[in-house]
Structure formats: C-alpha cells, structure tokens
Structure 1
Amino acid sequence: MPKYLLHYFDMKGRGEIIRFLFAAGGVQYEENVVQLPDWPAQKPNHALGLLPVLEIDGKPFPESISISRYLAAEFGLQGKTNLDNLLIDVVVDQCLFLREAFCDANFEGEKLKQDAELHRKFKDETLPRLFGYIEKVISGNSTGSGFVVGDQMTWGDLVLIDLCDIIARDPSILTPYKVINEHRKKVEALPKIANYIKNRPLREF
C-alpha cells in the first residue's frame, strides 16, 4: 500500500472529498494541516501554488478532482462501466459548477459575505436546473439503489454529499429536493462514512 500524505488547510474546502474517499476506502493517510498564516511561506514549495496536494510515496500531485478520480480508481469507487464513469463525471462537473456558484454568492476569499442577487439566482435558477438533472440521474438508475450509478456507492455520491454539506449553510435550500435529501441520508448512513462524519474535526468551511 502506498504511503499517502495530504497537504491542505484546516478546513473542509476542496480537501474534504479526498478525506471522504480515504474514509470510504478504509485507507490510512497522514495529513499536513497548513495554517493560513503559514501558507505564503509554503506556497512556493508546491508546483501550482495551490492546495490540496497529495503525496503518494513522496511524489506530490495537485488538483483535488484529479486526485479524487485517482483514489476512486485505487479504492474501487468508480463505476463498473465506462458509461457509468461518464455519468459520474457529468454529475461531478455539475456539482463543481454549483459549488463555485454558491461560493461566489456567499464568500469573499475566506470571509463570509451575502450577495443577495447572486444568492437569489443560485437558489431560484441555477440550483433547480442542475439539481433537477441530478435527481433525474438518481431516479433513473436502473438498479433502484438510490446511488448516482449502479448498486454501490461511487465517488460521484461522495462529491454530491460534500456539495450538500456546503450549500446547507442555508438550511432551507435543500428542502425541495426529496431525491437528493434521501440520497444524502443513505450515503451518510453508510458505516464508514457515518464514522468519518462523527469523528472528523469540527471545521466550519
């Protein structure tokens, strides 16, 4: 088994899906928690000047989604067919778009803000369109499992629950989406995921 070292800030952010994947895979890793005041001095040490970075046997790799896709393949958390993986990638892309739209409306750098018009557009236009699509994907899963694809959890399910955790800062925002709420409950109740959520450090963002 390779030795894994995750470099990321003391927040959920773009590192949380990676942590979810290690939990789901039952794989041990170490984490270098970077404090924000220390980041300017450490930034030049990373090839792209960005975090997260995952070291695999000492070799560093950037980009959270590239890392996540790799770990999913390593831990058996991809789909069973190329078409399954295509659909997972589509859902992941929609989740990333929603994440960026939500953050644009609610954050200025690392600080909270509230842009009323951007938040309204997110809640009333962007979210219904993309969550409507994702709910159709889940409901259309021919296995009836309640997962994004197939009859087992994949990394697409983890990306989706991570997104829900982010946007649920507005508790009412998920209320209209019955399929996604049921999906979230199902995935978060899986033993390895439930154990991770119960024991993870309390991080606001």
Structure 2
Amino acid sequence: MAPTYKLTYFDITALGEPIRFLLSYGGMEFEDNRIQKESWPTLRPSTPFGQMPILEHNGKVAYQSAAICRYLAKQVKLVGKNEWEDLEIDATVDTITDLRLKIGPYYYEQDEKIKEVKAGPIFNEIIPFYMEKLDAQVKNNNGYFVNGRLTWADLFFVAMVDYLCFMANKDIIANSPNLQILKENVLKVPSIKAWIEKRPKCEY
C-alpha cells in the first residue's frame, strides 16, 4: 500500500525535518521526496506559493512548515491539553523560528566584510540571549518546553537544531545543559531514534 503522505523538500534537514520527525513519531508511512537544488526551478511554479516544504495527502496539498507541523501534531497527539498550552507551544515554535530568521541573514551573507560586522551581534547578543531564555524554559518544565511533557515544540526544536548549528557554524546549545537534556529526551523516543538511524545522510 502506498504511503498516504508525501513530503517534498530539499535533501537537507532544515524546514523539512520537523515534519519528518512528526510523521515518524506517529508511525505514519510517508514518501520522503527529496529534490536536488537544480530541479527546484522546474518544480517551483507548480507549488502553491513557490516554496517548500509541501505535504500532499488525499489529493490535497499543504504548505507552510509550521502549519503542517501543527496539523500533524494534532494527528499524533503532541498538542497541548488546553488552549493555553497550545498558545505556549505556538509561542515557543515562533521563538525558535525568530532565532532561525536572525541567524539566516548572517549565514547567507556573501560579502565577508558585512558578514564580519553581522557576526558580533549574532554571537555576542542574539544567540546567547535566545539560548539563555530557552534553556531556562526547559529547566522550569522538567526537561521539556511546556508543562513538563513531550509536545511538538520539543520535536520542532530538536529537528531544527542541527540546521541552526550549521548556519551558525557552532554548537549553539553547547553551554545550555537543559536544552541538551531536551535533545536527549527527544532522541531517545523509539520512533525518533529509528528515524535518525535510517534517514538519508545529507550535508545538514
């Protein structure tokens, strides 16, 4: 029987990996359609808004990675127990996205002189600030982001952290013991561990 989900994204972790984590967590068979960068210009016009990842299911196409994750989180019961917890989860995911959007311009900067200027705030202010706040949040929630239990915010962060470290060219959680505990808690989930072991090797 063919998988009911088809995920299309580049052959990297980044925005596709939280979706892969959630599908794997739920034991959902999915087609992991990884396209090469040179194929993207041909595929792009057929996507809803000219971007990936996209998730196909029952003839429908979904876009926006966080929205896809939120949908899958409901399917696999990794959402909050009430609306307030859902708000806390969403806020955490949005905060992680904010961090990615702040690191991104540094990583993608081609002018080395400008990149050097951007490095100061990134490494001396922005990353330490976010790591301190997120680490404290996990400490206050017994190894997780929200209410002391596993939610999709935890999977989202751990799935994204390799990409964040790649862009920063450093281990951004090296000095964040509670975020390291969070990562361990997620990676020891049997279905996530199995995915990590079998997923294709890629640059980041």
After superposition, residues 46-195 of structure 1 pair within 5 angstroms as: 46-108=47-109, 115-141=115-141, 144=142, 146-169=143-166, 170-195=169-194
The Cα offsets for residues 124-151 of structure 1, whole Å up to 9 and x where unpaired, read as: 211222222222222222xx3x111234
- Tell whether the 8 Å contact from 1:137 to 1:148 is kept in structure 2 after alignment: yes
Deviation larger for 115-124 or 43-52: 115-124
Q: Percent identity?
A: 31
Please tell me the root mean square deviation across aligned C-alpha atoms, in Å. Answer: 2.3
Q: 1:175 to 1:31 in 2, by over 3 A?
A: closer
The one-letter amino acid paired with 2:177 is K
CA distance in 1, matches of 2:34, 2:85: 34
Per the alignment, in what secondary structure is the counterpart of residue 51 of structure 1?
A: coil
CA 1:196 to 1:108, structure 2 compared with 1: closer, same or farther past 3 Å? farther
Normalising by structure 2, we get a TM-score of 0.88
CA deviation after TM superposition for structure 1 residue 108, in Å = 4.8
The total of aligned residue pairs comes to: 200
| CA contact 2:8–2:53 (8 Å) conserved in 1 | yes
Deviations 1:54-101, CA, capped at 9 Å, x for gaps = 111111111111101000011111121211111111111111111122
Specify which structure has the bigger relative contact order, considering alpha-carbon pairs within 8 angstroms and separated by 6 or more residues.
2
Does structure 1 retain, via aligned residues, the 8 Å contact 2:15–2:160? no
Of 187-196 and 18-27, more deviation after overlay is shown by 187-196
TM-score by length of structure 1 reads 0.88
Q: Distance in 2 between matches of 1:180 and 1:117?
A: 28
Tell whether the 8 Å contact from 1:24 to 1:193 is kept in structure 2 after alignment.
yes
* CA drift at 1:121: 1.5
Letter in 2 for 1:203: C
Cα offset for 1:13?
2.1
Report if the CA contact (8 A) 1:106-1:119 is conserved: no
Contact 2:73 2:79 in 1 (8 A): yes
What letter matches 1:150 in structure 2? N
User: 4+ residue runs of structure 1 moved beyond 4 angstroms?
Assistant: none
